[in-house]
Amino acid sequence: MKYLISGVAGFIGFHVCKRLLQENADIEIVGIDNLNSYYDVNLKFGRLQELGIDNQVEINKYKESSITDKFRFIQMDLSDSDSIIKLFDEEKFDVVVNLAAQAGVRYSINNPKAYIESNIDGFLNILEGCRHNGINHLVYASSSSVYGLNAKVPFSENDSIAHPVSLYAATKKANELMAHSYSHLYQIPSTGLRFFTVYGPWGRPDMSPFLFTDAILNNRPIKIFNNGNMLRDFTYIDDIVDGVIRVINHAPTSSDQWDNINSDPASSSAPYRIYNIGNSKPIQLMDFITAIENTIGVESKKEFLPMQQGDVYQTYADTTALQNDLGFMPKTELNEGVKKTVEWYRSFYNL
């Protein structure tokens, strides 16, 4: 089996790639990432080094892993349509795992064009590559952000996503619609995953678990939005990866039983599926901060701020569908996950 993993130098992409390489003897993975400077490129190279790729990479040129013959890396941008189509034509992938995107809710307020180029144009290039090369399964990242103004909790895949509150969320909703149209027109099996606040070792520096840990260990005040009155469905990375791999191994099929009058928006007569993937145990933001403080042994300095544009009060995943269909069940308790995250941070940054 040959896999394409886009965003392989990113937080989730790196972990998914590493697990697949560890658990599958008969596998070949090509990983791509544009290595942009949205956050610290040194962190992205650190992840790649764990996969046997040093920092001497060149755009659109293959780099062989030094630790396994099952992995190759290419620095490539999803919006480079010629390069993406050439890659698909040459490699003939069996499975595509699209985890590349311009991430971040707040960043989308001031940098909207980056989201169209990566999340819309780039995703279209992925879909076109799948269309013309007989892909067995496309798995792609959506986001809990699509629920927007929806106040019904827990968030279910059957709920409306009609009112996103950031351009980032709108692009993720668009990805789901685009994937469905290609699944319907060209019978491409596709599964979208709505991720809920993923944290853990090698995490993103723009997300609160990393920001809080970084600030406390460097004796800076942490910024707490909405005066701390927020709930997040924090989900540890190992649990997320378990869910992603379960999904990869179970491509959806077409069904003539789908009811197009009382329709389920998370499934279709096409080979198409949407799943929430989260912990289903929302945690008060202040409790998460306390867990970090207890692990480090230091009480943080706090700066309380109002709600930011594009943010929502709470996220809470109903993962019943993923549990029933594929046996997904998160196992990592908060204190254990926070402990492993802090230990990784201290090790990586020599603190």
- Distance between start and end Cα atoms, the chain: 41
Cα gap 33→44, rounded to integer Å: 9
Is 168 annotated as catalytic? yes
> Are the beta carbons of 73 and 65 closer than 8 angstroms?
yes
The radius of gyration of the chain's CA atoms, rounded to the nearest angstrom, is: 20
Q: Could you tell me what percentage of the chain is helix, strand and coil, using 3-state DSSP and rounding each to the nearest 5?
A: 40, 15, 40
CA atoms within 13 A on the CB side of 207: 18
Cβ contact 187:271 at 8 Å = yes
Residue closest to 52 by CA, chosen among 63, 43, 65, 64: 65
CA-nearest of 249, 204, 277 to 20 is 249
Determine the Cα–Cα distance for residues 295 and 340; give it in Å rounded to an integer.
Answer: 10
Out of 39, 140, 168, 199, pick the active-site residue: 168
Q: Where are the alpha helices (H) located in 112-231, listed in sequence order? A: 112-115, 122-131, 167-186, 208-217
In one letter, which amino acid is 110?
N
- Annotated active-site positions, please? 168
